Every structure is written in C-alpha cells, then in structure tokens.
Amino acid sequence: MTELDRDGKLAGYYPSAWPVECGGPRRQKLVSSPGLALKDGERLLSTTRQMDGWAVMQVQRAPGEIFVQGGAGLGQSEFPPQYRDQGDTSGWLERIDPITLKTLARSPELPSGGHLWCGAVVVHENGDLYMVNGRYCHRLDEDCRVVAERKLPVDAPYNGLLILSDGNLLMKNLGTDPSVNCKFSLLEPERLESVGEPLEIPEACMGRFSSDRTKEGEFVYFTSATKIYRLRYEGGRLMLDSDWQGSYEIEGEDQGDGWDTSVGSDCIWMMDMGRPPPWRGLASAPQRAFRFPIDDPGERDVIETFGMPNAVNVGPPLYDPERRILVAYDMMNAKVGAWRFEGPGQYTSLWQHDWRCAVQMILYSDTGELVLEDGAAMGPASSAEGSMAVVVDIETGRELGRAPSGAPSISGMFFCPGYGRDFYSGSLRGAIARYYVEG
C-alpha cells in the first residue's frame, strides 16, 4: 500500500510537518500535526497582511519558523504567466512572525529571467531553502541569505520543485505553450550544479508532478495534454518508463489539460479541465476526476463529478487514503464535492457545496477537518467579502468555521498548517493570512 507523506521522515526533506507544498512529494495534502478540533461555540478568525506582490506559498522549517515565497505582482488585467523584458519581475523569500505575519528576515530581490509565475519553495534536510522563481533556482539559508544561484536551461517559467530521496532537486518548465516540450532538470543541492542533461519529454506538460518511493524504486508521475506518464529515478538518473502510461482523454470532447497528480492507495488521482481560458479559450467539457491503478494504468476510472459544461480547475483533487474519500472541484461553475471510493468504478456521492474553490486543499488526518476555499470570482465580479477559508468535516461536508483571507477574489494558491490550532494561506494578489481558533 502507498505510504503516507505524513508518516515518518521523508528522505531529502527537513523534518517538519510541512517542508514542501502539499506536505510531501506524493502530494497527498495530509497534515501530520494535530487538527484544529473546532467545537460548537468556537470561531475561526484570521489575521491578514498584504504583501507587495504575489504571495505563493508558506512552508515550515524549525519549530515556530514560517517562510513565505513572494513574486512580482500582476496588474489587474494581467493573467499569469507574464513575461516582462523590463520592470519588476523579481521574487523573494521571507521568514515571518507566525502570529503577526510581520517580516523577520527577507532575501534580496531574486531574478526570474523576466518570467512571472508561481514557482515553489522547499526546505531541504540540510536546513536550507530552495526556491524556483521564473527561470531561476536559488539556495537560501534560514536568514534568507542567498547561498547559490542557477539559471535554468529553458527560457520559460518553471512549475514545481521536489526533493528526491538522495537530496537532489527536480524541476520542470511550465507547459503554457503547447509547442514547447517539457524538460525535467536535476540539480545537486550544494552549488546547484546540473546532474546530467535535462530529460526532454516530446510534449508540453502543464502541471506540477508527484513522486513516490517504493520497494520497486523511486518514481515521478506527471501529465501531458491527454496522458499520464512515469519516470524512474535511479543512481542520479531520470528515465522515462516506456512500459507505464495512461490516458485521461475523453474521445470527442473539448477537454482541458490536467494539472498535478496525487499518489494514494496504490493509485494516481487527478482531474482534467485545468488549462485556464486565457491560454486556449474556454473548453466546453464538464469536470471529471480520474483514478489510475499503479499496477495497470490502462484500467482507469472516470469519476463524473458535477456534469456542468465549461469547467475549469487550477489544481489537483484531494484523496484521503484512510477514509477513501476523493474531493474534487470545478472553479468556474463554483462546485466542490466529495465521493467515497468503494472499489474500481464504484463511487458514492457524500456531499456538495456551491463554493468557488481555487486553492490546494489540506486535510487534518486525525480530526477529518478539510480546509478549502469559498471564493468570489476574479475581476469585476469580485466581492467586498472576497475569498474565505472554510473548514468542513470531510465525511459530511458540514461547515465547522470560516474566516476571510484578505484576498478580493479566489486566492489560487496553497494552504499550510501552523504550529497550533492555526493554518496559513497565500494568494495571487498578495494577501497572506493566519487562521486561528478562538473559544
């Protein structure tokens, strides 16, 4: 059975509860620390702060240390990614006060090669932080001082950063342009020197990627416009596993690309309809989720979720391996719901809400508290209330608490657990928030 990211130390990563987005390389989004345990009569409140740019994500390092990745801000009419040959394109890293959110340390401005996109930041087992921003990768210490810098081989923004079991760093370019092939790059963690030549995939690959460590080896899973692939990592070398491939294409439908993959219960879980309308126009198909058994990816499950045309999402679903519950969403049609996996091809609907979720959800495993978003639409339809973080019971969908994120519209970013009965969020338009329980 697939291991859980939250159980035990992950080789290559700092031993904290959240050293990387989604909590670990399998992207299960399961929190190992105690849940919020919201009770009747208690409220979820928030403290917010506006950064001067794009607030991408937070990660945990040593106890009480929260780091946030920042990037250059986008104009109200700009949709990511953007390229600027002049003006503000830099990113930065901050260590923030875990209660007040005030800046405690901040890096110098970090180059991006002109590319504006939400990269990634991870905390390495050596204690340093590694950040992908645009076309650059940086190594920074706990005081946000630059230790090493590397310009990456493809002149494009990079999407995703994971640490492999030997400590090497893996990253790939964003597949915005279908004519630009995907290239996976390996860097060693000391000086950010390349480990071999980039591995080119003869397709564009939009989403981030996941990795799994098993008795059979170490594997990397990712999507193209219609397929799901696997890489094998062995001896510091990446190889395409030509005997492992699945397709999520629905014949005859105007379908959008999938984003990230998640690994759980010996399966790969994902959703389609991820390519944003500004990149290709609005696709007409409804939202679907997919399950691919790792031992036979040709035998897929197609989970019909909401059945509404013109669906869009901006990330992967969440699958809880212990409760066997899949949570999927359609951002465009403002739907989020949960299904219990009863066996191959068998799913029972548990609940649905008319909420516009555009964030990477997290789940407190011990309490079953699912954290997601109820956000206003982007643009002129944005409401004064804006985006709200909502905590629900994953089994029933019962709302337990909600609080504002400080973002005027959907946040589109990541949640990160805190060190007590609290958690954090970032947003495309720069708001960061700490949510906490008050009796």
Query: For the segment 75-100, what is each residue's pLDDT rounded down to a tens digit?
Result: 877 888 999 988 888 999 999 999 99
Region 191-198: mean pLDDT is 97
pLDDT interval class at 384 (50, 70, 90): very low
E strands present in 4-145: 30-31, 43-50, 54-60, 66-71, 82-83, 91-96, 103-106, 115-116, 120-123, 129-133, 136-140
Instruction: Say if residue 361's pLDDT is above 80.
Output: yes
Region 182-210: mean pLDDT is 97
3-class secondary structure per residue, 327-362: EEEECCCCEEEEEEEEECCEEEEEEEECCCCCCECE
pLDDT interval class at 74 (50, 70, 90): confident
Write out the two tokens for 300. Answer: 């897929």
Q: What is the pLDDT of residue 26?
A: 98
Q: What is the pLDDT of residue 385?
A: 66
**pLDDT tens track for 394-418:** 999 999 999 999 988 787 899 999 9
Which residues fall within 8 angstroms of residue 328, CB to CB, at 6 or more apart?
271, 287, 289, 303, 305, 313, 317, 336, 337, 338, 339
21-438: CATH, from 2.130.10.10, 3.50.50.60, 3.20.20.70, 3.40.1180.10:
2.130.10.10
Residue 298: what residue type?
Answer: G
pLDDT interval class at 381 (50, 70, 90): very low
Q: What is the pLDDT of residue 76?
A: 77
Burial 248-284 (b: 16+ CB within 10 A, else e): beeeeeebbbbbbbbbbbebbbbbbbbbbeebeebbe
Measured CA to CA, the distance from residue 149 to residue 192 in angstroms comes to: 7
Measured CA to CA, the distance from residue 326 to residue 253 in angstroms comes to: 24
Instruction: Say if residue 379's pLDDT is above 50.
Output: no
Instruction: Say if residue 210's pLDDT is above 80.
Output: yes
Which residues fall within 8 angstroms of residue 83, CB to CB, at 6 or more apart?
114, 115, 116
Cβ atoms 258, 271 nearer than 8 A: yes
Lookup result for tokens 């690309």: 257
Tell me which residue of 98, 76, 95, 90 sits closest to 136, measured CA to CA: 90
pLDDT interval class at 52 (50, 70, 90): confident
Q: What is the pLDDT of residue 2?
A: 94
Q: What is the mean pLDDT of the chain?
A: 94
DSSP classification of residue 286: P
Write out the two tokens for 318. Answer: 């969440």
Which residues fall within 8 angstroms of residue 75, CB to CB, at 6 or more apart?
none
Cβ atoms 135, 155 nearer than 8 A: yes
**pLDDT tens track for 115-158:** 999 999 999 999 999 999 999 999 999 999 999 999 999 999 99
Instruction: Say if residue 315's pLDDT is above 80.
Output: yes
Q: What is the pLDDT of residue 88?
A: 86
Measured CA to CA, the distance from residue 369 to residue 396 in angstroms comes to: 10
156-159-164-166 Cα dihedral, nearest 10 degrees? 30
308-395-376-427 Cα dihedral, nearest 10 degrees? -120
Q: How far is CA 398 from the centre of its chain?
A: 24
Measured CA to CA, the distance from residue 219 to residue 164 in angstroms comes to: 10
Q: Label residue 367 exposed, middle or buried (CB < 10 Å: 0-12, 13-18, 19+).
A: middle
